[in-house]
């Protein structure tokens, strides 16, 4: 949404900043700080009052932040700086909206995983992320359409894309009451009858009974083992190891550089030699391809596994950014080279890199934290994931404009190196959590403690380097079943 708003002349005049001002990047990135704080609050609320109430509260908060952004500098005479108040209102709107979205990002993956079977968790979350990309595509498409129709001097060219986004939180708030609460949440509160009713909404009565017994057994094993952030973030804590996997997953995702591509897509195409208008249309085309390629993400994540997708995805991205460095250098340093000789292969490379990121790195790093923690720490683990995502993307989106202005195409080479590191770290330390129950994934950390190593290859004889054998060639019959509700979706 912000990618074209950042270049709208009315918006820049209202905020009293120039297009090259570092404040442009700060307005974009401060949103992620709100996300980090919102994740903590929402995860606490999800454990205390339930996943559904937490989601509803986050949606309402998102809606409020959206309104604050929309009214920033609005007056009867048109757009006004409000004597500096417009910028303050925009900052407030970005932070408040971040609180809501960060909370949603923390609770939804947990909610989704707790409603899905062991063999379908990845597919369910990857499908949700495909819809996330549809939202990104819709936001940019509306932005581009009104900018072309109204021009960059018109205030409504930047206000309309903001207010249209109100549609989503309002629609979600209107029907969230019809969704089932997480049975695992009910069991954590010793509300067994409510847990059974929730399971019966998802499964047949026979299956619901067996799954209730499984939840009861898991709850009995975890009872009395209360986990706090101290146990998760301090060395020696009971959940420190899974927390470091969560932290590094989000750090490495930020290092892939795709937070920058999402926000500054048109500028990247301009570095390849395209004019402004062509760059904007190519960005739209890249988002359309991104959305379609996400189909391969949910088709493969529960078959290939999280770990392989991430390792090979990082390798593909490192190669892609190296190629982009070469084409960017030719476009900037060798004007005698025909434009199409750089623009076509450079664009294809960026489209391919976007697809690789979507398949390998978008859903995986959000899914793993929901699979490697016990129930008593799952919401907090997801919150840690969002906090690190927020802080890492705050840094990336803040520094990317500076990088473009100073490093130009060499910024691509920086991302090639960081992707190589992300791939190595994942191969070395991230276990394969797909195809296993929440409880089975706990065995990795118990074995790592016994073996005195975090290296996946050396823990339990390398058992967690790949999916369980019963998943070779696809999911087994029992675990590949989705609940009727998820199938209908």
What confidence score (pLDDT) does residue 222 get? Answer: 66
CA dist 305 → 52, 312, 435, 436 (Å):
29, 11, 8, 11
Residue 261's alpha-carbon distances to 184, 189, 269, 350, 351, in angstroms, are 37, 43, 10, 9, 11
CATH class of residue range 1-189: mainly alpha
Strands (E), 354-454: none
For 273, half-sphere exposure in the C-beta direction (CA atoms, 13 angstrom radius) is 24
Residues of the chain with pLDDT under 70: 222-225, 263, 470-489
Distance CA 368, CA 378 (A): 11
What pLDDT score was predicted for residue 480?
A: 42
pLDDT of residue 372: 93
Quick check: do 1-189 and 235-453 share a fold?
A: yes
- Cα dist from 403 to 23, 349, 448, whole Å: 15, 20, 40
Instruction: Compute the distance between CA of residue 290 and CA of residue 140 in angstroms, rounded to an integer.
Output: 13
Q: Which residue has the tokens 């969002």?
A: 386
pLDDT value at position 487?
41
Q: What is the pLDDT of residue 405?
A: 77
String of DSSP letters for 180-209: PPPHHHHHHTT-HHHHHHHHHHHS-HHHHH
What integer pLDDT is reported at residue 411 of this predicted model? 87
Over residues 251-303, the pLDDT tens digits come to: 999 989 887 777 677 878 887 888 888 998 999 999 999 999 999 999 999 99
Closest to 123 in 3D by CA, of 378, 306, 373 = 306
What residue segments make up the domains of the chain, in order of their start? 1-189, 235-453
pLDDT of residue 210: 85
Question: What CATH superfamily is the domain 235-453?
Answer: MFS general substrate transporter like domains (1.20.1250.20)
For residue 456, give every residue at least 6 positions away whose Cβ sits within 8 Å of its Cβ, in sequence order, or none. 307, 427, 428, 429, 430, 431, 432, 462, 464, 465
Nearest 5°: CA angle at 115, between 368 and 356? 40
Residue 96: both structure tokens together: 């408040």
Q: What is the pLDDT of residue 74?
A: 92
Per residue in 312-354, pLDDT (tens digit) is 999 999 999 999 999 989 988 888 888 889 889 999 999 999 9
């Amino acid at each position: 949404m912000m990618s074209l708003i950042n270049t709208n002349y009315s918006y820049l005049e209202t905020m009293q900043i120039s297009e090259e001002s570092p404040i442009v990047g700060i307005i974009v990135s401060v949103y992620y700080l709100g996300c980090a704080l919102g994740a903590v609050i929402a995860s606490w609320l999800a454990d205390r009052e339930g996943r559904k109430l937490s989601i509803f509260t986050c949606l309402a908060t998102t809606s409020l932040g959206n309104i604050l952004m929309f009214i920033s500098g609005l007056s009867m005479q048109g757009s006004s700086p409000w004597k500096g108040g417009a910028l303050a209102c925009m900052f407030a709107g970005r932070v408040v909206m971040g609180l809501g979205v960060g909370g949603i990002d923390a609770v939804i993956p947990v909610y989704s995983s707790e409603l899905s079977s062991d063999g379908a968790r990845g597919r369910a979350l990857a499908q949700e992320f495909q819809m996330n990309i549809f939202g990104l595509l819709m936001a940019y498409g509306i932005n581009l359409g009104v900018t072309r129709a109204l021009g960059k001097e018109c205030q409504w060219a930047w206000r309309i894309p903001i207010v249209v986004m109100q549609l989503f939180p309002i629609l979600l708030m209107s029907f969230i009451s019809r969704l089932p609460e997480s049975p695992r949440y009910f069991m954590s509160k010793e509300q067994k009858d409510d847990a059974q009713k929730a399971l019966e909404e998802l499964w047949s009565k026979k299956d619901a009974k067996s799954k209730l017994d499984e939840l009861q057994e898991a709850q009995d094993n975890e009872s009395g083992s209360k986990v706090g952030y101290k146990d998760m973030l301090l060395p020696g804590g009971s959940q420190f190891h899974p927390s470091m996997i969560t932290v590094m997953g989000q750090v490495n995702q930020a290092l892939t550089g795709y937070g920058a591509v999402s926000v500054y897509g048109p500028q990247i195409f301009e570095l390849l030699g395209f004019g402004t208008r062509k760059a904007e249309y190519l960005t739209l085309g890249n988002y359309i391809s991104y959305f379609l390629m996400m189909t391969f993400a949910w088709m493969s994540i529960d078959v290939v596994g999280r770990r392989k997708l991430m390792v090979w995805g990082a390798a593909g991205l490192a190669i892609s950014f190296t190629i982009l460095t070469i084409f960017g250098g030719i476009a900037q340093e060798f004007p005698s080279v025909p434009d199409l000789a750089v623009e076509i292969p450079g664009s294809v490379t960026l489209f391919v890199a976007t697809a690789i990121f979507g398949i390998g790195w978008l859903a995986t790093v959000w899914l793993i934290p929901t699979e490697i923690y016990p129930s008593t720490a799952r919401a907090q683990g997801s919150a840690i994931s969002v906090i690190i995502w927020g802080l890492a993307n705050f840094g990336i989106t803040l520094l990317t404009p500076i990088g473009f202005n100073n490093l130009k195409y060499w910024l691509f080479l920086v991302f090639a190196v960081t992707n190589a590191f992300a791939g190595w770290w994942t191969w070395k330390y991230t276990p394969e959590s797909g195809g296993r129950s929440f409880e089975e994934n706990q065995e990795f950390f118990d074995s790592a403690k016994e073996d005195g190593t975090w290296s996946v290859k050396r823990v339990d004889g390398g058992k967690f380097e790949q999916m369980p054998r019963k998943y070779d060639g696809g999911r087994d019959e029992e675990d590949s079943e989705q609940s009727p509700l998820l199938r209908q979706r």
